[in-house]
Amino acid sequence: MFDAQDLYQEIVMDHNRRPRNFGSIADSTSSSEGFNPLCGDQVTVFLKVSDEIVEDVSFEGVGCAISKSSASMMTEGVKGKSVEEALIVFQAFRRMLTTTSDQVEDSEILGDLEILKGVSQYPTRIKCATLSWHTLQAALQGSGSDVSTE
């Protein structure tokens, strides 16, 4: 008997089982790699940006359900957005996970991503959820540099 429904919601489990936009993009314009040395989670984010619009985004890697579903939901959340908008979503997502209050301030910006709010109750798992986002940020800013959560 256990109670972790707030963390492993049905949508999260679904993204874990069938991650969206999983794989590389042949004609990507940038990519970035992220690594969580604590648990070995590793993710690569591929981007195809043209005219400051995220035309396509995908990810590859190994990780737990939280990191995988977060990455999967992230790709759905930023595809078609402008680079600037995508960065705003990243900031909102990070805020949601690092504030302990139950309230989510940026519901409109976050949309479906709000489902991952439950992660904020599990401090050791926040990095799992933010890894792909930090990696996205690095790819968006074109630095292409590798990201580590430590």
10 binds another protein (CB under 8 A): yes
56 binds another protein (CB under 8 A): no
**In the complex, least distance from residue 49 CB atom to another protein, rounded to whole angstroms:** 29
Interacting residue with another protein among 11, 13, 52, 144 (CB under 8 A): 13
**Tokens of residue 58, six digits:** 């995908």
7 binds another protein (CB under 8 A): yes
**In the complex, least distance from residue 100 CB atom to another protein, rounded to whole angstroms:** 18
The two beta strands, 53-62 and 147-148, are unpaired
CA distances from 116 to 12, 13, 21, 23, 101 (A): 8, 11, 18, 22, 14
Interacting residue with another protein among 49, 86, 128, 131 (CB under 8 A): 128
Provide the mask over 77-106, with x wherever binding to another protein is found by CB under 8 A and - wherever it is not: ------------------------------
- The residues binding another protein (CB under 8 A) are 1-4, 7-8, 10, 13, 16, 38-42, 62-66, 122, 124-125, 128
